Amino acid sequence: MAIHVLYFASVKEKVGLGEEHVSPPASVATVSDLMDWLAARSPKYASAFANRATIKSAVDQTHVPLSTALGEAREVAFFPPVTGG
Partner 1 sequence: MTTVRVQAGPLDPGAELNAFLKDTPHAGGIAVFVGQMRDFKGADRGTGERVSAMTLEHYPGMAERELGVLVEEAKQRWRLDNVCVIHRTGELLPSDPIVFVAAASAHRADALEACTFLIDWLKTKAPFWKKETTTQGPHWVDAARADDIRAARWEKPAN
CA-CA distance, 12 to 14, in Å (whole number)? 6
Number of residues forming the site for partner 1 (CB under 8 A): 17
| E-strand stretches of the chain | 3-7, 19-22, 56-59, 62-64, 75-79
For position 8 contacting partner 1 by CB under 8 A, the verdict is yes
For position 76 contacting partner 1 by CB under 8 A, the verdict is no
For position 53 contacting partner 1 by CB under 8 A, the verdict is no
| Options 16, 61, 69, 71; binder of partner 1; rule CB under 8 A | 61
Rg of the chain over CA atoms, in angstroms?
12
List of residues contacting partner 1 (CB under 8 A) = 6, 8-10, 12, 58, 61-63, 77, 79-85
